[in-house]
Structure 1
C-alpha cells in the first residue's frame, strides 16, 4: 500500500522537485524536466523502500492499530 501511495504522489513530487531545482539550484528548464521526471518516480519508491526496511509499517501497525495487529498475528 505504501508503494502505491508513493507512485500516486509522484505528480506532487514532480512539481515540488521542479520548483526546487529551477529556483534553488538554477538549472535549465530541460535539465530540470529530465531529472525530475525520473526522480519523481524512482525517488519516491526508494524512499518507501528505505522506510519499509526501517520498519515504519510495523511501528504504525503497533502504535495505531493494536486490534488489527492482534487479528493479523493470530
Structure 2
C-alpha cells in the first residue's frame, strides 16, 4: 500500500485546489485488481478500513468514518 501526503504551494501547507488536495493512493497484492482505477471517490480516511479488510477482519471499528472502496478487489 502506498500513501503520500498532500501537496502544497511554495512554502505553504496547502490550500483548496485539486493539486494541493489530491493524494496518491495505491494498493497491490493478492485479491487486488490489477491496473484498476477506483470507480468510487476515495479519501485517506478509507485507508484504515482497507487495511482492516486486507487482514481479514469482518467489522471495522465503529468510530472509523472511512469506507472500503470495493472496486479495488477482484
Q: Which structure has the greater CA radius of gyration?
A: 1
Task: Using CA pairs under 8 Å that are at least 6 residues apart, name the structure with larger relative contact order, 1 or 2.
Answer: 1
Per the normalisation by structure 1, the TM-score is: 0.24
User: By percentage of residues, which structure has more strand?
Assistant: 2
Per the normalisation by structure 2, the TM-score is: 0.24
